[in-house]
Amino acid sequence: MSDDHDHHDGKDDHELRVSKIRDGTVIDHVRGGQALNVLAILGIDGNEGEEVSIGMNVPSDRFARKDIVKVEGRELSQDEVDVLSLIAPDATINIVREYEVIEKHRVERPPAVDGVLTCPNPACISTGDEPVTSRFEVLEEGVRCSYCGTIVRDEIASLIET
Protein backbone atom coordinates (compact mmCIF):
# COMPACT_ATOMS: atom_id res chain seq x y z
CA MET A 1 0.00 0.00 0.00
CA SER A 2 1.63 3.19 -1.11
CA ASP A 3 1.20 6.52 0.58
CA ASP A 4 1.86 8.64 -2.49
CA HIS A 5 -1.07 10.86 -1.71
CA ASP A 6 0.76 12.26 1.30
CA HIS A 7 3.52 13.83 -0.80
CA HIS A 8 2.93 17.30 -2.23
CA ASP A 9 5.48 19.11 -4.31
CA GLY A 10 3.03 21.93 -4.96
CA LYS A 11 3.21 21.61 -8.74
CA ASP A 12 0.57 18.90 -9.08
CA ASP A 13 -1.89 20.80 -6.91
CA HIS A 14 -2.04 23.59 -9.43
CA GLU A 15 -2.48 21.23 -12.36
CA LEU A 16 -5.12 19.09 -10.71
CA ARG A 17 -7.30 21.98 -9.69
CA VAL A 18 -9.26 21.80 -12.95
CA SER A 19 -9.19 18.40 -14.58
CA LYS A 20 -8.02 17.86 -18.13
CA ILE A 21 -10.62 17.18 -20.74
CA ARG A 22 -10.26 14.91 -23.73
CA ASP A 23 -12.36 16.77 -26.30
CA GLY A 24 -14.18 20.04 -25.89
CA THR A 25 -13.62 23.67 -25.06
CA VAL A 26 -11.68 25.39 -22.32
CA ILE A 27 -12.68 28.99 -21.71
CA ASP A 28 -9.80 30.60 -19.86
CA HIS A 29 -9.20 34.10 -18.48
CA VAL A 30 -12.83 34.67 -17.59
CA ARG A 31 -13.08 37.56 -15.13
CA GLY A 32 -13.42 36.31 -11.58
CA GLY A 33 -16.99 35.52 -10.63
CA GLN A 34 -18.31 35.25 -14.22
CA ALA A 35 -18.04 31.46 -14.65
CA LEU A 36 -21.68 30.84 -13.78
CA ASN A 37 -22.74 33.48 -16.30
CA VAL A 38 -20.65 31.69 -18.91
CA LEU A 39 -22.61 28.50 -18.16
CA ALA A 40 -25.84 30.46 -18.56
CA ILE A 41 -24.74 31.72 -21.98
CA LEU A 42 -23.93 28.19 -23.06
CA GLY A 43 -27.28 26.98 -21.78
CA ILE A 44 -25.61 24.56 -19.39
CA ASP A 45 -27.75 23.91 -16.37
CA GLY A 46 -26.43 20.53 -15.31
CA ASN A 47 -29.38 18.59 -16.68
CA GLU A 48 -27.98 17.62 -20.06
CA GLY A 49 -25.30 15.39 -18.60
CA GLU A 50 -22.61 17.62 -20.02
CA GLU A 51 -19.36 17.22 -18.16
CA VAL A 52 -18.26 20.64 -17.00
CA SER A 53 -15.49 21.69 -14.67
CA ILE A 54 -15.17 25.17 -13.30
CA GLY A 55 -12.28 26.82 -11.55
CA MET A 56 -13.38 29.98 -9.80
CA ASN A 57 -11.11 32.70 -8.48
CA VAL A 58 -7.92 30.87 -9.40
CA PRO A 59 -4.68 32.89 -9.50
CA SER A 60 -3.98 34.51 -12.85
CA ASP A 61 -1.06 36.18 -14.55
CA ARG A 62 -3.34 38.62 -16.31
CA PHE A 63 -5.79 39.47 -13.50
CA ALA A 64 -5.64 39.04 -9.76
CA ARG A 65 -8.14 36.20 -10.09
CA LYS A 66 -9.80 34.43 -12.97
CA ASP A 67 -12.38 31.76 -13.64
CA ILE A 68 -11.91 28.82 -16.00
CA VAL A 69 -14.72 26.81 -17.57
CA LYS A 70 -14.08 23.47 -19.26
CA VAL A 71 -16.84 21.82 -21.25
CA GLU A 72 -16.30 18.25 -22.34
CA GLY A 73 -17.45 17.18 -25.79
CA ARG A 74 -18.53 20.57 -27.06
CA GLU A 75 -17.08 23.26 -29.28
CA LEU A 76 -18.68 26.66 -29.13
CA SER A 77 -20.64 28.24 -31.96
CA GLN A 78 -19.72 31.72 -33.18
CA ASP A 79 -22.94 33.06 -31.63
CA GLU A 80 -21.94 31.64 -28.26
CA VAL A 81 -18.46 33.14 -28.56
CA ASP A 82 -19.96 36.54 -29.48
CA VAL A 83 -22.18 36.60 -26.39
CA LEU A 84 -19.34 35.27 -24.27
CA SER A 85 -17.21 38.21 -25.38
CA LEU A 86 -19.73 40.58 -23.78
CA ILE A 87 -19.22 39.27 -20.25
CA ALA A 88 -15.70 37.87 -20.66
CA PRO A 89 -13.94 40.25 -23.05
CA ASP A 90 -10.50 38.92 -22.14
CA ALA A 91 -11.35 35.23 -22.42
CA THR A 92 -9.30 32.76 -24.38
CA ILE A 93 -11.05 29.88 -26.14
CA ASN A 94 -9.05 26.68 -26.32
CA ILE A 95 -10.37 23.86 -28.50
CA VAL A 96 -9.18 20.50 -27.16
CA ARG A 97 -9.05 17.22 -29.08
CA GLU A 98 -7.48 14.08 -27.64
CA TYR A 99 -6.20 16.09 -24.65
CA GLU A 100 -4.28 18.48 -26.91
CA VAL A 101 -5.11 22.14 -27.45
CA ILE A 102 -5.44 22.29 -31.22
CA GLU A 103 -6.75 25.83 -31.49
CA LYS A 104 -6.47 28.82 -29.19
CA HIS A 105 -7.90 32.25 -29.75
CA ARG A 106 -9.01 35.32 -27.86
CA VAL A 107 -12.67 36.21 -28.06
CA GLU A 108 -13.35 39.19 -30.29
CA ARG A 109 -16.17 41.51 -29.47
CA PRO A 110 -18.49 41.93 -32.44
CA PRO A 111 -19.77 45.45 -33.25
CA ALA A 112 -23.32 44.27 -32.49
CA VAL A 113 -25.26 41.16 -31.43
CA ASP A 114 -28.65 40.21 -32.84
CA GLY A 115 -31.26 38.07 -31.15
CA VAL A 116 -29.20 37.07 -28.14
CA LEU A 117 -30.17 39.60 -25.47
CA THR A 118 -33.56 40.88 -24.33
CA CYS A 119 -33.88 44.62 -23.81
CA PRO A 120 -34.73 45.37 -20.16
CA ASN A 121 -36.87 48.36 -21.22
CA PRO A 122 -40.52 47.18 -21.23
CA ALA A 123 -41.46 50.02 -23.60
CA CYS A 124 -38.88 48.99 -26.21
CA ILE A 125 -40.21 47.91 -29.60
CA SER A 126 -38.11 44.74 -29.31
CA THR A 127 -40.10 43.58 -26.26
CA GLY A 128 -43.59 44.54 -27.47
CA ASP A 129 -46.48 42.40 -28.71
CA GLU A 130 -44.89 41.92 -32.11
CA PRO A 131 -41.29 42.01 -31.10
CA VAL A 132 -38.58 42.64 -33.63
CA THR A 133 -35.30 40.76 -33.30
CA SER A 134 -33.29 42.38 -30.55
CA ARG A 135 -30.11 44.16 -31.56
CA PHE A 136 -27.48 45.58 -29.25
CA GLU A 137 -24.45 47.61 -30.21
CA VAL A 138 -21.38 46.51 -28.29
CA LEU A 139 -19.76 49.35 -26.35
CA GLU A 140 -16.49 49.47 -24.47
CA GLU A 141 -18.20 48.80 -21.13
CA GLY A 142 -21.55 47.29 -21.99
CA VAL A 143 -24.19 47.13 -24.70
CA ARG A 144 -26.77 49.59 -26.04
CA CYS A 145 -30.16 48.62 -27.45
CA SER A 146 -30.25 49.73 -31.08
CA TYR A 147 -33.97 50.54 -30.81
CA CYS A 148 -34.45 52.46 -27.57
CA GLY A 149 -30.88 53.31 -26.59
CA THR A 150 -31.00 51.57 -23.19
CA ILE A 151 -27.46 50.86 -22.01
CA VAL A 152 -26.72 47.73 -20.02
CA ARG A 153 -23.40 47.31 -18.22
CA ASP A 154 -23.48 44.83 -15.37
CA GLU A 155 -26.55 42.70 -15.91
CA ILE A 156 -25.79 41.49 -19.43
CA ALA A 157 -25.85 37.82 -18.41
CA SER A 158 -29.39 38.13 -17.04
CA LEU A 159 -30.69 39.38 -20.42
CA ILE A 160 -29.55 36.38 -22.43
CA GLU A 161 -32.41 34.94 -24.49
CA THR A 162 -32.88 31.24 -23.95
Predicted TM-score (pTM) of this structure: 0.77
The whole-number pLDDT of residue 18 equals 57
Q: What is the mean pLDDT of the chain?
A: 84
- Residue range 126-146, pLDDT digits in tens: 988 887 899 999 998 889 999
The whole-number pLDDT of residue 8 equals 40
Evaluate if residue 112 carries a pLDDT over 90: yes
pLDDT (average), residues 140-156: 92
> Are both 102 and 116 inside the same structural domain?
no
Least confident among 4-8, 32-36, 108-112: 4-8
> Are both 84 and 121 inside the same structural domain?
no
The whole-number pLDDT of residue 50 equals 78
CA distances from 63 to 6, 57, 58 (A): 32, 10, 10
> Are both 36 and 94 inside the same structural domain?
yes
- Residue range 12-56, pLDDT digits in tens: 344 445 578 999 999 999 988 899 989 988 888 777 677 899 999
Binding residues, by number, are 119, 124, 145, 148
Binding residues for Zn(2+), by number, are 119, 124, 145, 148
Which residue from 55, 34, 54, 58 is spatially nearest to 46, judged by alpha carbons? 54
> Are both 100 and 117 inside the same structural domain?
no
> Are both 19 and 97 inside the same structural domain?
yes
Burial 133-162 (b: 16+ CB within 10 A, else e): ebbbebeeeebbbbbeebebeeebbebbee
Domain count within the chain: 2
